[in-house]
Amino acid sequence: MTDFSNLIPKQEMERLSNLIRQWDHAYYVLDESSVSDFEYDQAVLRLRALEEEFPELKDPRSPTGEVSGYADVAFSEVRHNYPMQSLDNAFSKEELEAWFKRIGADLDRKRLVFELKIDGLAMSLTYRSGVLVRAATRGDGMVGEDVTANVMAIDAVPKVLANSDIQELEVRGEIYMPLSSFQRHNDAAIAKLSDYQGSAVDRPKVFANPRNAASGSLRVKDPSVTRDRGLAFFAYQIGNEPQDITDSHFESLQLLGRLGFSVNPNIRLIDDVDDIFSLLAEWEKNRHSLDYDIDGAVIKVDSFSERARMGSTSRAPRWAIAYKYPPEEKTTLLEDILVSIGKTGRATPFAKMTPVFVGGSEVAMATLHNEDQVRAKDLRVGDIVRLRKAGDVIPEVMGPVLAMRSEELVEWEFPKVCPECGSELRRDEGDAGHYCINYRCPAQAVARMVHFASRPALDIEGLGETIVKRLYDLGLVADVADIYRLDYDRLISLERFGEKSVKTLLQAIERSKTAPLNRFLVGLTIGHVGSVAADALASRFGSLEQLRAASVEEISEVEGIGPIIARSVVDFFAHDTTIDLLDRMLQSGVSPTVIERRESYSGALSGLTVVVTGGVEGFSRDGITQAIKDVGGKAATSVSAKTTFVVVGESPGASKLKKAQELSIRLVDGASFGRLLSGEISIDELEDNVL
């Protein structure tokens, strides 16, 4: 009689083994992510649990006993002198504590090293007499790929070591693509795709994530392509008998730094396990302040002699463990791709998805930016897609899970007509966006009024999107001029409009009539005119009447205003619709004014360029920018050699601080800077508050 008792576990183990091998092939050979790291790890854990429960069913070739990875046959094979093993993972404090217990972590005797887990590609570099002679990928742990020619093209990898008298040295580390390089590459690739007419082989490649980008950049046949990708390298260990040099892993990393390698600056030598949990919490919170992706941390025993005593399993050392952060990338169903119409008529595609919890909140929609982005990522309605939060805030669809795509799914086509008014959606040559050509499109009209009332523009409290949409649907407003025709009797008769809310709204509308000219110009939705251009135009022409009468040549003479903006301004004010709109606003008492400088400390920052990072008490983001301008300063958004000083407020950005330190730019305390803007202290007194 046949025994079926183990049939279901055996089938499940075979299914998981096959899936993991498929995912490994896609990840390590094709540079594609078929599933999220979390789903991959969970499959491995499930398979390992089944193998422990049913050891008699375990396949000797199970992926749980192997190092993940392959040596691509397109490259020459390299056999590692010392295996490049994987690491066991911990996903919780309890699992990490269990590892501490297993290794017998008596920290009076056994110090640990904390390292960030860089999401890149493991690399082995061999130096003879201080000269780089070979670079190889990890591959399957025993045999990797010879990528020496490509690694030679990476500026961040030392080719000749500084002051090295070591005959042969193997250095292991992580090749990665900085997030800035990743964004720069994808932006350029998407721009090229808009008018690409070449073959599929040469088609500009848009990468799904920085890890795939780094791996793919090392597998191209032309090293010059690798050079242009902007890859970087962190050394994380000596691969060959490091105890011949020192018994301390931490000291060996310091040696690598002296030899010219880039070693991650956030590595810490630990004497108290509580410090590890503090560091894990700190970096989980601040992981997006870095210019590279991390997915956790690695904890290692510092002593090489202790490591030798502890040994390894067939796939992983017992003296190290990787702590993985909770997944920030999830998968969900792409239910539809819809199009929204903005204040300028721009048609922006966005994803409608089955709601999924990611990065601390539920996400059901995410922008897809434009047609080129959708095509580059090959998104199709019905796909299972990978979703993350860019910068831990903005939902971003990374791409489809191709292994789960149905053959019935078809390519998405950008609609020909506006979904709001049925007018033509037009895309001009050289422009990535589609636009609704109907100026009176309901979606455009509502969006323009919402923008007009927003904080960067006229700041009309109580006139948000919901109220504007309701007033529009009731026929009470059709454009921004109609806002100034609203009165008490019209509003108080509406359901859910109480006396207090009506009075508050009408008072805000009345105040906006004499708003500064620069904010008024921002609110008008003039093509190419944002806050910077509006400031320059308001300062130069002084009044709305003079600006309306100005020529293209006169406007082009304004510093920071080019011919494209100048032509856009002149065309806007010459249009019949604009003339009618402004005439009706002026008849309603609208009279924009030029910003008046506060005499008590006018010009306190005259000629100075200031960058603010983090929050400053008493000021909103827009408010502090305006306050800097009010006292003659220039509020910049990025740190450069022209920056006078950087204001450091609450929760500052690490990248701006790092750049300021590299350029030796002063760091000023946010609280004292707020006192300067409030007139409590002078700039001379600010000198005493440098951090």
| pLDDT mean over 524-548 | 87
Give the model confidence (pLDDT) of 413-442 as tens digits.
999 999 999 999 999 887 788 999 998 999
Contact yes or no for 555/570 (Cβ under 8 A) = yes
Burial group, residue 576, by CB count within 10 angstroms (0-12, 13-18, 19+): exposed
Residue 32: which of 344, 361, 405, 362 has the closest Cα?
Answer: 405
Q: What is the pLDDT of residue 108?
A: 46
**Which residue has better confidence, 611 or 70?**
611
pLDDT over threshold 80, residue 334:
yes
Q: What's the Cα-to-Cα distance from 610 to each of 530, 641, 685, rounded to whole Å?
A: 19, 11, 17
pLDDT over threshold 60, residue 227:
yes
pLDDT over threshold 80, residue 198:
no
| pLDDT mean over 289-312 | 90
Give the model confidence (pLDDT) of 388-405 as tens digits.
875 455 788 989 988 888
Q: What is the pLDDT of residue 403?
A: 82
Residue 4: pLDDT band by 50, 70, 90 thresholds?
A: very low
Contact yes or no for 570/597 (Cβ under 8 A) = no
Q: What is the pLDDT of residue 571?
A: 94
Q: Is 524 helix (H, G, I), strand (E, B) or coil?
A: coil
pLDDT over threshold 70, residue 682:
no
Residue 130: which of 97, 158, 95 has the closest Cα?
Answer: 158
| pLDDT mean over 444-448 | 94
**Which residue has better confidence, 670 or 230?**
230
d(Cα 415, Cα 92) in Å, to the nearest integer?
47
d(Cα 144, Cα 161) in Å, to the nearest integer?
24
pLDDT over threshold 90, residue 530:
no
H-type helices in 607-678, by residue range? 621-630, 654-662, 670-677
Long-range residue pairs from 36-42, CB within 8 A, at least 24 positions apart, any chain:
36/327, 36/329, 36/330, 36/331, 36/386, 37/295, 37/324, 37/327, 37/329, 38/326, 38/327, 38/329, 38/330, 39/331, 41/89, 41/91, 41/324
Cα-to-chain-centroid distance, residue 452: 29
- 15-19, 125-129, 258-262, 296-300: least confident range: 15-19
pLDDT over threshold 80, residue 133:
yes
Contact yes or no for 231/180 (Cβ under 8 A) = no
Give the model confidence (pLDDT) of 35-76 as tens digits.
666 677 778 888 888 888 888 888 877 777 655 554 444 568
pLDDT over threshold 90, residue 406:
no
CA atoms within 13 A of residue 429's CA, in its CB half-sphere: 0
Residue 476's region, left for phi above 0, alpha for psi from -120 to 50, else beta, is alpha
Mean pLDDT, all residues of the chain: 83
User: Which residues does the annotation mark as catalytic?
Assistant: 117
| pLDDT mean over 218-231 | 84
| pLDDT mean over 535-542 | 87
| pLDDT mean over 602-625 | 74
Where do the domains of the chain lie, and which CATH numbers do they carry?
7-65 (1.10.287.610), 77-324 (3.30.470.30), 329-426 (2.40.50.140), 442-587 (1.10.150.20), 599-689 (3.40.50.10190)
Residue 20: pLDDT band by 50, 70, 90 thresholds?
A: confident
Instruction: Record the pTM.
Output: 0.50
Q: Where are the beta strands (DSSP E) in 8-159?
A: 77-79, 89-90, 112-118, 121-128, 131-137, 143-145
Residues near 541 by beta carbon (within 8 Å), at least 6 away in sequence = 547, 550
Q: What is the pLDDT of residue 66?
A: 58
| pLDDT mean over 190-198 | 66
Give the model confidence (pLDDT) of 149-165 as tens digits.
889 989 899 998 877 67
Amino acid identity of residue 530, one-letter, is G
Task: Provide the pairing of β-strand 294-301 with 112-118.
Answer: antiparallel
Cα-to-chain-centroid distance, residue 118: 16
Amino acid identity of residue 427, one-letter, is R
Rounded (5°) CA angle 375-376-382: 55
Give the model confidence (pLDDT) of 234-293 as tens digits.
999 998 876 667 889 999 999 999 999 999 999 999 988 889 999 999 998 888 788 898
Q: In this structure, what are the phi and psi dihedrals at residue 648, rounded to the nearest 5 degrees? A: -105, 105
- Determine the longest span between alpha carbons in the chain, in angstroms: 100
Rounded (5°) CA angle 177-181-187: 130
pLDDT over threshold 50, residue 445:
yes
Q: What is the pLDDT of residue 655?
A: 72
Contact yes or no for 249/242 (Cβ under 8 A) = yes
Q: What is the pLDDT of residue 91?
A: 85
| pLDDT mean over 91-100 | 89
Task: Provide the pairing of β-strand 384-390 with 394-400.
Answer: antiparallel
Written as one string, the DSSP assignment of 76-110 is -EEE-SS------EE-SHHHHHHHHHHHT--TTT-
Length of the chain measured in residues: 691
| pLDDT mean over 133-138 | 91
Rg over alpha carbons for the chain, rounded to the nearest Å, is 30
Contact yes or no for 67/86 (Cβ under 8 A) = yes
Contact yes or no for 194/433 (Cβ under 8 A) = no
Residue 103: pLDDT band by 50, 70, 90 thresholds?
A: confident
